[in-house]
Each structure stands twice: as C-alpha cells, then as structure tokens.
Chain A
Amino acid sequence: MVKVEAVVIRERIETVIDAVEDQAGHIGVTVIEAVGHGRQRGITHEYRGRVFESRFLPKALLVFVVEDGKADAVVHAIADAARSGGESGDGIVWTTAAATVLHSRTGRPLEEAEAR
C-alpha cells in the first residue's frame, strides 16, 4: 500500500478529492487543516499601520492510503486538480510506502472500495 499526501489550497480540497475519485477510482480521504508556505514564503500582513510578514497561509493536508497500482494515477489526478494557474501556492504531492494497513472494523488488510 502507498500513502499519498498532498498540501493544497483550501478552496481546492473538494476538486482534488473529486478528481481522485473520478480519475483514479480511489475512495476515502483524511483532511487536515494546515498552515504553511512554500517558495512564496507566506504573506504580508498589515495591522494599525504596522507591516509584518507571516509564514502562515491556510492550506489543507490530504492523506490517501491507496493500492500500489493506483498510486500513480492518484498522484497525477491530485497535481492536475490542485493547479490553480497562480504563480505559487498550489502545494506539493508525495508518496510514502505504508507497510501495514488494516480496517479497524474487521482487523483485516485494506480493501479498495468500489468506485461508483
């Protein structure tokens, strides 16, 4: 099994999850609210005339645990759906190997749900 994680802008969360379902046929996701930055190094804030930099932009961390054969399709579906056309801030997607994955309900290894 493969764990696919992606940092995306929050407005793209549903677009990305839909793309993973439609194009890669994987169902199931965990969404974690996150803040952070990439090469754009955050944002300039102003308050009462004081200007200051903040590293923290609102993002979401999406976690998918998928079958090995689907991982490549999932990764590309995410990257395509997360692309906003802006200069920066669309996030990154990466994979790691997941050694043991069980359904807590049955205690048996993960089975991919049937995509609709």
Chain B
Amino acid sequence: MSTADLTIAASTIWVVVAAVLVIFMQAGFAFLEAGLTRMKNVAHIAAKTVLVFGVACVVYYVVGFGLAFGDGGNGLAGGSGFAPSVDALLAVGQAPFSWFSTVPASAAFLFQVAFAGISLAIVWGAMAERAKLWVYLVFGVAFVLVYSVVSHWIWSPDGWLFSLGMQDFAGSTVVHYQGALAALAGAILLGPRIGKFDRHGKPNPIPGHNMAYVTLGVIILWFGWFGFNAGSTLGIVSGDMLGFFGYVALTTNVAAASGVLGAAAVARVALGKPDVSMMLNGAVAALVAITAACGFVAPWAAIAIGLVAGAIAVLGVLFVERVGIDDPVGAVAVHGLSGVWGTLATGLFALPSLAASLDTGRGGLVYTGSFAQLGTQALGLAAVGAFTFSISFGVLWALDRLRGIRVSEQVETLGLDVSEHGMWGYPEFYIPVPGGYGTEAHGHLGRSHPHAARHPAAPRPEPVPEAG
C-alpha cells in the first residue's frame, strides 16, 4: 500500500472510532435527562432517546446526508447523494461525496449521522415530561432536515457560511445551538409543567430524581465528546499538521474541566451552595462552548471559554426560568446560550496560525484586532437562529393545532411511564412484583448464617431437618 492508502486506512480507523464515541453520547443524554426529571417519567425519558436516534439515522440516510454534503448543490443545500448506493459509500473523495477526501463516504456518513442524532437529542430535554410520544417521531423527521440544511451552510465547501469563513469546528452552532433553538420553540409552545410556576408566576423547583444518573450522564458525554470534537478532524492529517486530533482533545478536556470549576464557583456565589446539577451542567456547557473553538484556540483560551461557559450554565438556567420558560434539563441555557458563547468566543480567540492551517476563516479579535471573524460568527448565529427557530416553531405550532403536542393533565399527573407505556419505570415502588421489593420471605436464613448468629434473641421457627 502506498503512504496515501495507509493514511486513508488510519484516518478511517479514527473516524469510525470517533463516530462510535459520539453515538455513545446518546447514553449520556439518556442518563442526564432521566436523572434531571421525575421518577414517574424515567423509562419514557430514557427510552425515547433511543427511539428518536432511530428516526435520525433513517432520515439522515435517505435525505439528510445528501442535503448536507452531496455534490452539485448550491450555497443553501446539497444536491445529490440521497439514499446513497454501495458504490457511493465505498468511494473515497468521489462524487457524490467528493468533499470527504480522507475517509470513505461510509465512515463520513457514520460520523455525520451521529451528530444529527445528538442535535435531535438536545431538543427533547426542554420538552421533557409533557410532550406526546408521536410528536418526537414527526418533529424528529422535520428537525433532521433542518439540521442537514444548516450543516450544509457551515460545513460543506458549497455552503454560504463556509464560503464566508465561519469557524465552527465541531458544531457549537450546527449541533448545539440548533438543538437548543428547537428546544426553546418546544418549551414555549408546550408551556410549563403542572406546578412549575405558582399562580403568581413564582417558579417552584421540581428536583430531578437521581443526581448520580446525571453525573454518569455527564461523564459519558465528556467521554463521547473526544469523538465529537477530536473526530471532527475527519482524519489523522489536518492541513500541514499530523495527529492534530490529539490537540483538539486537549483543548476539549481542559475546557470541560474549567466549566465545572466555573459553574461551582458561580453557583456558590449566586445560590449560596455549589448546586450539584449546576456543577454538572457547567461541564456540559463548557463542552458545548469549546466545540466551535477546539481546533482554533490556545489552551489558555480554552480555559477561559470553559470558565465563562460554566457561569453561563448557572445564570442561564436561572434566566430561562425567570422569563417563565420551563426547561427541565436546562437545554436552552447549556446548549443554546453556551453554544452562542462558544461560537462568538472562536471569533475572539482563534489563533491566526491554526485558522491558516485549517484554511477556515482568520485569526480572532484578540490576535488581529479585527472584528471580521467575530462578525462572521455573529452573522452565522443570526442566520441559523432565524432559520431554525422559525421553522421549528412553525412545525411544532402546526402539529399542536393539528392534534395537540401536549399530553392531557391526567396523563401528565400520573406520569408518562404508566400512561404512555403502561408500566412504571420503577415498578416495585408502586406495585407488588413477584419476588420484588417488599415481598421478601423473612426467616429464611439458616442458623449457620452470620446474620442469624448475630441476633440470637430473634425468635425463629425450628429448622426443618434436611431430607435424606
């Protein structure tokens, strides 16, 4: 094999591994959302993550990948590669996916579909505990199409924002901001959960039911994010840099770490206690913010971006609640506001040398004194904000008028587990299950058992003589 062949082989290994890491982030979202919501909805919340990933994968194969990266389109959308054939997927750098010159189109597809799935997963956090199940399926289809169009704008060489040099290395805008825009539309249209605000509009806390689940979810997301950001090199060679993904992983990690610290500090000052859910959301907010910047900035800037994102997580969650929007997991703040911050921060802190190596945009304000890159970033945010929010709001509004997107009061009160799926997520809390909690047979310990010996006073029946 030639060196070029070996490079493609090595790049393919990395991209497929990264894609699988990103797909594993669905587990992170499942645990994050389940932990931040109530026991009566736990199974529904966790399992619908898997359901909507199914929607994302099929729609992205049939239409999305072509819309995003197919050759022959214009600045707004791709024009070929719909339901791609075997040959199209096996080829490297050939039509209809000539943009992917470092890996086969199949590896590129797997990586990109994982991103579409993540963006869609973000949507539901703000709509948790009160949306009907079918809405996930129908809106999921619409959102994947919107997502694919915007990813074309920013990531395809034909895209109009790509041509302007917008820097969004792994998708602070494309993935996180977009998901949060749809989440915001959904949260506004659904309205708050029963009891979230009292009759004077004062917010009531509805604590999530398992902070250890939230922690596990955040750690899984952090772990998967190394695929998300570092995998976005799409290979082992980036411009004139070999193994650049190692550096991207470094900035990602140090930003996330700073996010926890920033959120803990701000929560301590603003709330009086280092609130656990806020600390954890701080890590996610920092990961969201560094997503655009991870390939462009120096480590010190990554730390600054993470610290600020941690503060945004805390203050943003409070702000969203203050304006009367019920966002159970904080998606609007953590993915939306922090996504905006990360996108703008790239325009502030992008190193001219890295921008040149990656051939994307130019140096940020701090290095060049020019507002040009910051302006491009802001333009991208405004365009994506207008497009994705208005379409998401319109589609959800139409669905609401058509059949209603919110469950009935009775269903919401009883919980989605038992009313949508017929079974509690934690059945043994409520119903006797054969051999389950509360049905244990007592007095079953033999005399030789250490627990039996420790309580000699406890009356127990005579042991039955062993047979034989």
Contact = CB atoms under 8 A, between A and B. Distances in A.
Q: Does B associate with A? A: yes
Interface string A3-43: 00000010100000000000000000000000100000001
A86 B410 CA distance: 8
Contact of B431 (A9, A45, A51): A45
B423 A46 contact: yes
B134 interface: no
A109 B422 CA distance: 49
A92 to B, nearest CB: 19
Highest count of chain A CB atoms <10 Å: which of B195, B421, B430: B430
Interface in B381-434: 410, 413, 418, 421-424, 427, 429-432
Given A56-B432, A58-B430, A45 B423 contact: yes
B195 A11 contact: yes
A51 B423 CA distance: 10
B192 to A, nearest CB: 15
A81 to B, nearest CB: 14
B431 to A, nearest CB: 5
Contacts of A57: 430
Contacts of A35: 430-431
Contacts of B430: 35, 54, 56-58
A46 B195 contact: no
Contact of A44 (B195, B422, B427, B429): B422
A45 B422 contact: yes
B422 A47 contact: yes
Contacts of B418: 43, 45
Interface extent on B, as a size class?
10 to 19
A62 B421 CA distance: 30
Contacts, number: 30
A92 B423 CA distance: 26
B439 to A, nearest CB: 13
Contacts of B194: 11
A46 B431 contact: no
A9 B413 contact: yes
Contacts of A84: 413
Contact of B422 (A9, A46, A86): A46
Contacts of A47: 422-423
A35 B437 CA distance: 14
Contacts of A11: 194-195, 413
Interface string B427-451: 1011110000000000000000000
A46 B413 contact: no
Contacts of A9: 413
Nearest to B421: A46
B66 to A, nearest CB: 38
Nearest to B419: A43
A31 B421 CA distance: 29
A54 B422 contact: no
Contacts of B431: 35, 45, 54, 56
Nearest to A58: B430
A54 B432 CA distance: 9
Contacts of B422: 44-47, 51
Contacts of A56: 430-432
A54 B413 CA distance: 18
A58 B431 CA distance: 9
A57 B431 CA distance: 8
Nearest to A42: B431
A58 B425 CA distance: 14
Interface string A37-81: 000000111110001001011100000000000000000000000
B170 to A, nearest CB: 40
Contacts of A43: 418
Given A11-B195, A47-B423, A56-B430, 16 more contacts: A9-B413, A11-B194, A11-B413, A35-B430, A44-B422, A45-B418, A45-B423, A45-B424, A45-B431, A46-B421, A46-B422, A56-B431, A56-B432, A57-B430, A58-B429, A86-B410
Closest 7 CB pairs of A and B: A46-B422, A54-B431, A56-B431, A47-B423, A11-B413, A58-B430, A45-B422
20 contacts: A9-B413, A11-B194, A11-B195, A35-B430, A45-B418, A45-B422, A45-B424, A45-B427, A45-B431, A46-B422, A46-B423, A47-B422, A47-B423, A51-B422, A54-B431, A56-B430, A56-B432, A57-B430, A84-B413, A86-B410
